[in-house]
Structure 1
Amino acid sequence: MKALNLSINGKVVEHILPSFKKMDSFLKEWNLGVKDQRGLFLRISNILKETKGSAEASFKFLIKYLGTFSDEDVSAMNEANEEALHAIIAFVKAPDMFQCGLLDMPVIVQLEKGAKHALAYQLLKIFLTGRLDDYMNFHEANSELLKTYGLLHEDCVEKMRLLPLVDFGMTETGQIPYSMIKDTLNIDDIEVESWVVKAISTKLLICKIDKMNQLITVRCAFCGGRPLLSLPMLWLY
């Protein structure tokens, strides 16, 4: 912590950034208690948040911080409400993040019970378990709230349209009819292929577009960089 403070005060944070990648091995050596780990993870996350190009790493350490809270830490969890809210907003805002374990964390779940952040919890649940219609209804009732979170409606709609494509790709055959994509994403026929291409470009799907039979055949569906389904097929691109 002293080294972190020194690097910030001396404006030489870039010299300490490589050590963050070794943090897991450091923690094994240091044998830190939960409170010390908690403070360290949050400090690192905040440093990375201010560092250009480190948003993903900042989010990872924020998740580590939130993961230190258990159901028994009721008073401590209340102090982490703002960080929990920040994690939700960061996930929703990230254009290339489609899965996370936030809903399994006690510090996130307890937001549902509080009046201040209950809607943020509801928004997270929509993005992880809901569909586009759920989001559209939420936006209609809470458009001003989304603006205060710094979320753009158009970006949220795009993300909510990409998420079902991964679910579709996890079917037994890996085949998705154009009609299913059109109806679920609430788009026109001519937009189907462009949305599939977006899913490919964001590395959510590896698939073949069959225009003749109006089918998308999925070879592999990914979520958060991890393959969720892989089918042994011969592919022509």
Structure 2
Amino acid sequence: MASAVSFFPVEETSKLAALMNCEADIQTLLDAQNYDEVYLKFAKNSGALLDAVPPKDLEKVYNLLIAIVSQAKQDDLPDLVPSIINPIVSSSAENAQQKLKVLSNLYNSLESTSHIRYTVFLAIIQLAAQSNELDVLVPTLPQLESFFPVWGVELDESRRMILLLSEVLGNDDEFLNQSYEYLIKYLKTYPQSKNAYPRQVQDTAVKAVKQALRLPAVTNFSDLYALGPVVSLKGTNADLMALVEIFVSGDVKAYRAFTKKHPSFAKDNGFDDAALLKKIRLLTLASTACGVSANDGKSELLFSTVSAALEVDNVDVEEWIVNGIRSGLIDGRINQVNKLVVISRATHRVFGEKQWDLLSDRLSTWGDNLKDLLQVIQNAKQAAANQQQQQQQ
């Protein structure tokens, strides 16, 4: 049964068909009111527009195509839309911005709950990556995962898009941190399991671990280490996991021992030993800052303690403390006269039972202090009220 038709401007439709070199066929189908085949013909021949239309007119012509094809039955769109987007994605990187606008317009023409939006957005990611236009894509990513349930995306589909995003973002040094974040999101979709994970998942886990070690901004290794696919690497990548364990809770001394035992490991795995040493020193600084005794919520960390823990000269300690503050691992105030730093906050690398107990104690202390403060305020209010009453008498 042919679908209803509400938009077939004769002149524009004829020109569009001529650009696709199928004018006679389209006219025959229109005369027979076989509109379903008209939509199909336009969609399947749409790739011809990429060569037939000047770049400045590409968006306008495709908008006409989209307006026509969008009248097709909803059940037919999953077959029609790929016929439109595939030639665009597989074409050369020329005129990428115009092509991205076309895909964006196609995306916006679909109902907000349409699963086909997933297909179009996947094409946008691919085209943006191929044409080095990732800057166009990145601002939309924070909301992306909230669309998955709206589009009715299945788990395998969400994994495919998340992994693709990690891959394309990883090809640009500017977006390496975001690439790592998507690797973690991908691995989190797999539950903790004692069974073997698929090879692709294991390979992705190895990639995530190596990314975490390489990226200066990554300082939280405990969450990574707890992921099921990462845990599974203990049986297949024992040395790599031993190194990760050092970055989870070890120190400079442990790292030195590892490199002594495995002198070629860093080079064989594409790591920069100097960069790894810098990172473990910063993490050791955080642990050392957490370990000093607290006094009224603040801790004093001697330069000599830092020098010994980080295995650096005393003259370099202040620089390492500044680096620790810049990295966000610690907050504090340097006292150059007394050769110490007053720590106001330090990042716990592993948040276990001991850390929960410490947090509970601090919350209790804060609660008691607040009660005392409220009592002081209440007493002051009562005293003011009594004084006012006496003056009135």
Report the TM-score when normalising by structure 1.
0.84
Question: 2:258 corresponds to which residue?
Answer: 138
In structure 2, the CA distance between the partners of 1:161 and 1:11, relative to structure 1 (3 Å rule), is closer
CA displacement, residues 170-219 of structure 1 (integer Å, 9 cap, x when unaligned): 34232212222121111222222221122123232221122333321012
Structure 2 residue aligned with 1:70, among 191, 194, 197? 191
Report the CA distance between 1:125 and its aligned residue: 1.0
Question: 1:157 corresponds to which residue?
Answer: 277
Mapping for residues 89-108 of structure 1, pairs under 5 Å: 89-100=210-221, 101-108=223-230
**Is it true that 1:110 corresponds to 2:235 in the alignment?**
no
SS in 2 for 1:53: helix
Mapping for residues 190-205 of structure 1, pairs under 5 Å: 190-205=315-330
Distance (Å, rounded) in 2 between the aligned partners of 1:120 and 1:107:
14
Mapping for residues 25-36 of structure 1, pairs under 5 Å: 25-36=146-157
Question: 1:2 corresponds to which residue?
Answer: 123
Report the CA distance between 1:56 and its aligned residue: 0.8
In structure 2, the CA distance between the partners of 1:14 and 1:200, relative to structure 1 (3 Å rule), is closer
Report the CA distance between 1:222 and its aligned residue: 4.5
Distance (Å, rounded) in 2 between the aligned partners of 1:223 and 1:51:
31
Distance (Å, rounded) in 1 between the aligned partners of 2:315 and 2:127:
57
Report the CA distance between 1:84 and its aligned residue: 1.0
Kindly provide the amino acid, as one letter, of the partner of residue 241 in structure 2: Y
SS in 2 for 1:86: helix
In structure 2, the CA distance between the partners of 1:178 and 1:26, relative to structure 1 (3 Å rule), is same
Distance (Å, rounded) in 2 between the aligned partners of 1:192 and 1:129:
21
In structure 2, the CA distance between the partners of 1:195 and 1:16, relative to structure 1 (3 Å rule), is closer
**Is it true that 1:80 corresponds to 2:201 in the alignment?**
yes
5+ residue gaps, structure 2: 1-121, 350-354, 367-393
Cα contact 1:77–1:107 (8 A) shared by 2: no
Report the CA distance between 1:8 and its aligned residue: 4.1
> Number of residue pairs matched?
226
Structure with the largest fraction of helix: 2
Cα contact 1:205–1:220 (8 A) shared by 2: yes
CA displacement, residues 123-166 of structure 1 (integer Å, 9 cap, x when unaligned): 11111111111111111222322112221111111111111222
Q: Which has the higher contact order (CA 8 A, sep 6+)?
A: 1
Distance (Å, rounded) in 1 between the aligned partners of 2:324 and 2:131:
43
Which protein shows a greater Rg?
2
CA displacement, residues 78-103 of structure 1 (integer Å, 9 cap, x when unaligned): 43222111111111111222114111
In structure 2, the CA distance between the partners of 1:44 and 1:180, relative to structure 1 (3 Å rule), is same
Question: 2:374 corresponds to which residue?
Answer: none
The alignment's C-alpha RMSD in Å is: 2.6
In structure 2, the CA distance between the partners of 1:46 and 1:199, relative to structure 1 (3 Å rule), is same
SS in 2 for 1:147: helix
Structure 1 residue aligned with 2:309, among 173, 184, 194? 184
Distance (Å, rounded) in 2 between the aligned partners of 1:7 and 1:42:
15
5+ residue gaps, structure 1: 233-237
Distance (Å, rounded) in 2 between the aligned partners of 1:220 and 1:112:
33
Query: Identity of counterpart residues, as a percentage?
Result: 22
In structure 2, the CA distance between the partners of 1:73 and 1:39, relative to structure 1 (3 Å rule), is farther
Distance (Å, rounded) in 2 between the aligned partners of 1:91 and 1:208:
29
Structure with the largest fraction of strand: 1
Question: 1:235 corresponds to which residue?
Answer: none
Kindly provide the amino acid, as one letter, of the partner of residue 334 in structure 2: I
